[in-house]
Chain A
């Protein structure tokens, strides 16, 4: 410990000159106490930002640094409601001021590499940050090689909008400006991917816009999968609210897209059939955010294996992986999951670094999906480490044919959840 403090101090002094450090976070001189360990977190989404908050709030003596590539974070959750015209873009975009106020050192920069043996994180601009514990919560990266012709440039023409921000705005502009009676085509990804019900909630809320602005428009989903999350519920909603508008093609019946052509605005399935559309929302296969692979925290699947009782990397020492980037057993890749994992992992990290109490580990998830402004369904489960794996036990899912009143109440519930997770992640408590 003593040696690393010298090193830590040196690097931090060096680092400060080249970094945009949020004001008011490092007023005090460096702590001389050996126990003031330093945790560096990569990624300020629900995984990383929740970790930063809970660590700093519960163990103010720890040095907590949050490295985030962007000045603000637009949440993917509720981005479909933005597409559907139910919330504003500003409502889903959040900054890091309040985390900084809490004492989290917020560094704007992109992490590109990790020296796990020396415990050093490297940023794109060449800065290095020393850590005692590193938390990787970088979310997902698209597999640009997976669909022929679908690369970063193609995503500017056929947006995925599965990382919220400019992509989300672009997709909305495209389908709101679509010609009358045109076709919106979604390429839905194979498992595992971010937010299992996300593509189908999106289609529902795009259909909601079309019923008002372009009632003869059509929506076609070409899906790599044979079935999808909450399928019966979505299909019920599509029949009820958007009869005849949405067609879903499963993987075994021509849904597997292998190539796109951005000039012709077409996609091609594995049987060689070509589909033309006016707007193409291409959601490709995914992998852990690139820094995870650069760090060496991923396995052959492209995701990060973790210990089920701590979210610690099973590959790298002193590294924790949270959220979508992790292989979290039965847990879906959701914002709710990332937030839940972060709280558990913060409890364990705090125990390791400060000797605080260790409590039983349990994770939770609930995902609401709005199929129309006042028709919201949900699914949820509990999770526990069992036999070396995060395993679900008990759960619930909405039922087909529920009352309109319940579905309306669940929309209010979803709104309240959004307010809560945002307050907890980016806000004041």
Chain B
């Protein structure tokens, strides 16, 4: 009897643990954990934009910043930018100097003598159109939102101008429009994209240092750019899902 009973419990045990193990296994089949490369595009079809900037090609002419201001009626004062260019200079005694005179529009003059320069490069900055954008997350009224194309846009006829999104953007890409009292930011020239035109900054770039395209299409220019180059995004530790990829960016850049 005793032996039999023991057998039953063992079988019971096996069956039970089998069920549990099987259950866990099937559950994991249903929603297995997957690591995701950088950002993951949401379900759906149609374009989902990403941007690439090749630091090596940037000559720091700030044509992009200029074109953006002209195209989008950004106030001309040096406090309001949808995109701008910075020059990083790392000196031989490890100091980081960054300049961006009027967002680069006024032209760069290197103040560090050449013999003291360890390395120096330009970094064009613009909205990263993050996939998990902290700015649209905090908008209290839903005036800042992510469009189906993956662009972080602002509904200026609905925005209340609280400035919370300006605080939440880790990249400083938003500003309150001084005349309209609402927030303004890069739209990747949504009004041009929808008409089949390139964004103004991409059009103006004389060396084609900036590209954009459909991240869902694995053969698009941007997908190739990300695959073939050693690309990074800004502030990856904040997990914003930034979709602005820089080729050969230095880690000093923030």
Task: Say whether A associates with B.
Answer: no
Q: Which B residues lie at the A interface, using CB under 8 A?
A: none
Q: Which A residues lie at the B interface, using CB under 8 A?
A: none
